[in-house]
Amino acid sequence: MARKRVAILISGRGSNMVALIEAAKDSRYPAGIMLVISNEPDAEGLKRAAAAGIRTAVVDHRPFGKDRAAFERALQDVLQAHQIELVCLAGFMRLLTPWFVRQWDARLLNIHPALLPAFKGLDTHARALAASVKEHGATVHFVVPEMDSGPIIAQAAVPVHRGDTEAALAARVLEVEHRIYPEALRLVAEGRVQIAGGRCLIDGNPVPLPSS
Ligand code: GRF
């Protein structure tokens, strides 16, 4: 089966992007990373992608001002020019409009550093510590117009230790992010994920509970 053509959208350091690129180096992996796009011209991840031999593009949001639709049309043009089939958000710090999300219905993935539906939004690690939760983690999900709310494809949990700093907890979560994002993309690229009633089924079964 032909490998799915994937683009990764980033804004920053791109460690999840690197995890996806590494996974896709294996010719048996069902997806190929064709393109990395950043809205930040100086994103560290752009250099890491280029060093890995991946084509990069910058679609800077600033020249578009408040015109999100125009920014997204520019993004969409680049994605179409490269015949992209699946899009992975990996630390992409722009909210996407319902128009863009609809273009990529069930083909747009995101990774969020929390066990959704807990801790949607930013500063998840600080909020998890403040809430004294015992477990925290990461979620890969399909993107829907409502932020951090789409059907869950994969989750992994990590313990929260007494005395954890935000940085220590973030590092523990990041490690599982780098594992589950390639796993989730594999499942989607292999066509094993269906959405039924707003939830994902994998090979017809409910998504397993968060592994650790
Ligand atoms: C990750 O924690 C990811 O879950 C969140 O943004 C961060 C991006 O990190 N969406 P990186 O750029 O992949 O290193």
Give per-residue pLDDT as tens, 86-144.
999 999 999 999 999 999 999 999 999 999 999 999 999 999 999 999 999 999 999 99
Answer yes or no: are the C-beta atoms of 50 and 21 closer than 8 Å. no
The full DSSP string for 76-108 is HHHHHHTT--EEEESS--S---HHHHHHTTTTE
Is pLDDT at 212 greater than 80 in this prediction?
Answer: no
pTM: 0.97
Determine the topology of domain 111-212 in CATH.
Rossmann fold (3.40.50)
Report the atom number in ligand 1 closest to the C-alpha of 92: 10
Reported as a pLDDT band with limits 50, 70 and 90, residue 185 is very high
CB of residue 124 inside a 6 A radius of ligand 1: no
* Position 211 pLDDT exceeds 80: no
pLDDT tens-digit readout, 1-15:
799 999 999 999 999
Q: Where are the alpha helices (DSSP H) in 31-89?
A: 44-51, 68-81
Nearest CA to ligand 1 atom 6: 91
The mean per-residue pLDDT over the stretch 156-160 comes to: 98
- 16-63: pLDDT as tens digits: 999 999 999 999 999 999 999 999 999 999 999 999 999 999 999 999
Architecture of the domain whose range is 1-104: 3-Layer(aba) Sandwich (3.40)
3-state secondary structure at position 67 = coil
- Whether 1-104 shares its CATH topology with 111-212 is answered yes
pLDDT at 166: 98
Q: Is 11 helix (H, G, I), strand (E, B) or coil?
A: coil
Rounded to an integer, what distance in angstroms lies between the CA atom of residue 138 and that of residue 177? 6
List the domain boundaries for the chain: 1-104, 111-212
Q: Categorise residue 161: left if φ over 0, alpha if ψ from -120 to 50, beta otherwise.
A: beta
Question: What is the distance between the alpha carbons of residues 210 and 156, in angstroms, rounded to a whole number?
Answer: 5
Question: 12: Cβ below 6 Å to ligand 1?
Answer: yes
Ligand 1 binding pocket mutation candidate from 18, 48, 111 (most atoms within 8 A of CB): 111
Distance (angstroms) between ligand 1 centre and the Cα of 136 equals 15
Q: Which two structure tokens, joined as six digits, stand for 146?
A: 């409502």
Active site residues: 112
Q: What is the whole-number distance in angstroms between the Cα of residue 29 and the centre of ligand 1? A: 22
- Which of 15-24 are b and which e, b meaning 16 or more Cβ less than 10 Å from the residue's Cβ? bbbbbbbebb
**Tens digit of each residue's pLDDT (9 = 90 or more) over 55-94:** 999 999 999 999 999 999 999 999 999 999 999 999 999 9
* CA distance to 14, 162, 178, per residue, from 112 (Å): 14, 23, 12
For a ligand 1 pocket test, name from 10, 11, 16, 110 the mutation site with the most ligand atoms within 8 angstroms of its C-beta.
Answer: 16
Atom of ligand 1 nearest to the CA of 18: 13
Given the DSSP bridges, would you call strands 199-202 and 205-206 parallel, antiparallel or unpaired?
A: antiparallel
Query: Residue 179: what pLDDT?
Result: 98
Does the beta carbon of 38 sit less than 6 angstroms from any atom of ligand 1? no
> Atom of ligand 1 at shortest distance to CA of 112?
4
